[in-house]
């Protein structure tokens, strides 16, 4: 800080501050790193910095000299701070540019091989079924894999002596009582669900009509051969309202079958059958031919069963607290693995679960083109 005796003139004070500003400007511009710039800031503007010390010396000046020196010193301090900030911004930008150049991704590299990741046929088929039925207004519902006897059998009007209840056909679990709403006798038993129909029961118990759901998920039965597995997948559908009738069921499933197999004029027939939870019930068959030792869907005079369906039995509606004198509806069940085997020519169900990468490379699907309820069915 210039003293009063040495720098008492206004012109001398202004000249000294201008010279110091030029010197510091060059020093700041020459700083190559943020650390070097911070060192300059501390040396000039810090608590013990040169300009800060000069500010403290202003009290030693008198009158007009102190006023002139104070104005000049404040202007110097402001300008130096601004110059430091500008240089800091330049260094930050240079550092960012250097990082971008070092870390950039070369988008011209070839794409990863397709076999690095493929969609399993079960997942692909479920997505296709959900996409088709989703366009018809169905929404997805889910439920637990471990069920109580009430939701898995009794509420569905399956009698106590039905073969499906036999331990040779069904996986029962020890204990019970936690999941079920009923707490007497057989209703306390827990079971790995034998179909996804319990989700229909749970939906009807907790939601008033109209109801329009599809239920994809795993199911479990004691069976294992070329066409059966202890664990497999189903997609079941349920519609409940005041006006739905058998004609709606037929129209829905005919359109579904034709969309799924991609055959516009696919022959579809409904053959009378029996299920405890539907009345009337019908098996759904599609036209095919087996000439030449192979299976060709959509052509020929032969028929192939693919799913079961029917109008909801009034007893099921009453079991769920829905007035069967007012409401009615239909239900259907689709075996996912069976549909995949038919559509994609997979001869043995057991290969779905052998975790053979060679099999998956042959039957798998690209993860970039998956069907969905939003995007629809992509081919």
User: For every residue of 89-133, which 3-state class applies, written as one string?
Assistant: HHHHHHHHHHHHHHHCCCCCCCCCCHHHCEECHHHHHHHHHHHHH
Question: Positive or negative, the Cα torsion across 256, 259, 262, 263?
Answer: positive
Q: Quote the CA–CA distance of 44 and 58 in Å, as a whole number.
A: 16
Segment holding 88, helix H or strand E: helix 63-103
What pairs with residue 190 in β-bridges? 148, 173
Q: What is the pLDDT of residue 378?
A: 61
Per residue in 203-225, pLDDT (tens digit) is 999 999 999 999 999 999 987 77
Say which residues have a Cβ less than 8 Å from residue 222's Cβ, sequence separation at least 6: 168, 169, 170, 171, 230
Q: What is the pLDDT along the chain (379 residues), one digit of tens a residue?
A: 444 444 344 556 667 778 888 888 888 888 888 888 888 888 888 888 888 888 887 777 777 777 877 788 888 888 888 888 998 899 899 888 888 888 877 777 676 665 577 899 999 999 999 999 999 999 999 999 999 999 999 999 999 888 888 888 899 988 654 444 444 455 578 999 999 999 999 999 999 999 999 999 999 998 777 667 889 999 999 999 999 999 999 999 999 999 999 999 999 999 999 999 999 999 999 999 988 778 889 887 899 999 999 999 999 999 999 999 999 999 999 999 999 999 999 988 889 999 898 999 899 988 777 787 766 666 5
Q: What is the pLDDT of residue 16?
A: 78
Per residue in 361-374, pLDDT (tens digit) is 899 988 777 787 76
Q: What is the pLDDT of residue 14?
A: 66
Q: What is the pLDDT of residue 115?
A: 54
Domain boundaries, the chain: 10-103, 115-366
Q: Quote the CA–CA distance of 293 and 24 in Å, as a whole number.
A: 93
Provide, rounded to the nearest whole percent, the portion of the chain with pLDDT above 90.
Answer: 49
Q: Quote the CA–CA distance of 134 and 160 in Å, as a whole number.
A: 35
Encoded tokens for 297? 């869907």
Q: What is the pLDDT of residue 7?
A: 39
- The CATH code that applies to domain 115-366 is 3.30.930.10
Say which residues have a Cβ less than 8 Å from residue 163's Cβ, sequence separation at least 6: 169
Say which residues have a Cβ less than 8 Å from residue 333's Cβ, sequence separation at least 6: 195, 196, 197, 234, 235, 236, 237, 307, 308, 309
């Amino acid at each position: 800080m210039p003293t009063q005796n040495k720098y008492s003139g206004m012109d001398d004070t202004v000249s000294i501050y201008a010279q110091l500003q030029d010197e510091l400007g060059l020093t700041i511009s020459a700083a190559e790193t943020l650390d070097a710039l911070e060192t300059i800031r501390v040396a000039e503007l810090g608590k013990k910095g040169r300009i800060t010390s000069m500010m403290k010396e202003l009290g030693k000046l008198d009158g007009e000299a102190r006023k002139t020196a104070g104005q000049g010193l404040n202007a110097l301090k402001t300008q130096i701070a601004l110059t430091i900030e500008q240089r800091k911004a330049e260094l930050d930008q240079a550092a960012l540019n250097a990082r971008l150049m070092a870390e950039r991704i070369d988008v011209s590299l070839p794409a990863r091989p397709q076999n690095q990741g493929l969609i399993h046929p079960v997942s692909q088929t479920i997505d296709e079924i959900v996409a088709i039925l989703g366009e018809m207004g169905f929404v997805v519902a889910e439920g637990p894999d471990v069920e109580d006897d009430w939701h898995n059998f009794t509420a569905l009007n399956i009698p106590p002596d039905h073969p499906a209840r036999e331990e040779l056909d069904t996986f029962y679990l020890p204990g019970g009582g936690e999941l079920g709403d009923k707490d007497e006798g057989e209703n306390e038993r827990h079971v790995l669900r034998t179909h996804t129909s319990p989700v229909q029961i749970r939906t009807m118990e907790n939601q008033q009509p109209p109801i329009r759901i599809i239920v994809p998920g795993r199911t479990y039965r004691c069976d294992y051969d070329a066409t059966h597995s202890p664990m497999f997948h189903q997609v079941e559908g349920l519609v409940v309202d005041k006006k739905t009738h058998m004609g709606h069921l037929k129209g829905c499933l005919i359109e579904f079958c034709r969309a799924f197999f991609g055959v516009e004029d696919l022959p579809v027939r409904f053959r009378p059958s029996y299920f405890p939870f539907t009345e009337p019930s019908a098996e759904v068959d599609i036209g095919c031919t087996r000439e030449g030792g192979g299976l060709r869907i959509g052509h020929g005079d032969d028929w192939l069963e693919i799913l079961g369906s029917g109008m909801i039995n009034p007893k099921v509606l009453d079991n769920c607290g829905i007035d069967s004198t007012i409401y009615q509806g239909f239900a259907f069940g689709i075996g996912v693995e069976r549909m995949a085997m038919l559509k994609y020519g997979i001869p043995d169900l057991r290969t779905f679960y052998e975790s053979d990468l060679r099999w998956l490379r042959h039957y798998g699907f690209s993860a970039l083109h998956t069907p969905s309820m939003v995007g629809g069915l992509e081919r």
